[in-house]
A = this chain, B = another copy of it.
Amino acid sequence: MFFPTMEKYTVEVKVELKKGVTDPEGENTKKALALLGFNAIESVRSLRVYELMVSAETKEKAIAIAEESCRKLLANPVIHNYKIMVKEL
């Protein structure tokens, strides 16, 4: 019998708002920083990152699993873009 060797990959999924979508968290962070005197900070964007530990046979399969998880749960295609990167262990 053949058992494929499973490797563990750390996949970083970066979910960001699409251009033109308002980012209340970023805007309020900017306001709070301005109140603290950080006038050099002109804008703030907030992003969400998920670090997934994926066990898969190949790097490509790990990326495919992460991509599907974005489509099904992590990102809302109406407002979000996402980027997937594999971190080497």
Q: Chain A interface (Cβ within 8 Å of chain B)?
A: 8, 14, 26, 29, 32-33, 36, 38, 40-56, 62, 65, 68-69, 72-74
Q: Are A40 and B14 closer than 8 Å at their CB atoms?
A: no
Q: Are A73 and B32 closer than 8 Å at their CB atoms?
A: yes
Hey, which chain B residues are within 8 Å of A43, CB to CB? 52-53
Q: Chain A contact residues: over half helix, strand or loop, or mixed?
A: strand
Q: Are A50 and B74 closer than 8 Å at their CB atoms?
A: no
Hey, which chain B residues are within 8 Å of A65, CB to CB? 38, 40-41
* Chain B residue at minimum C-beta to C-beta distance from A43: B53
**A30 to B: closest C-beta gap in Å:** 9
Q: Are B41 and A73 closer than 8 Å at their CB atoms?
A: no
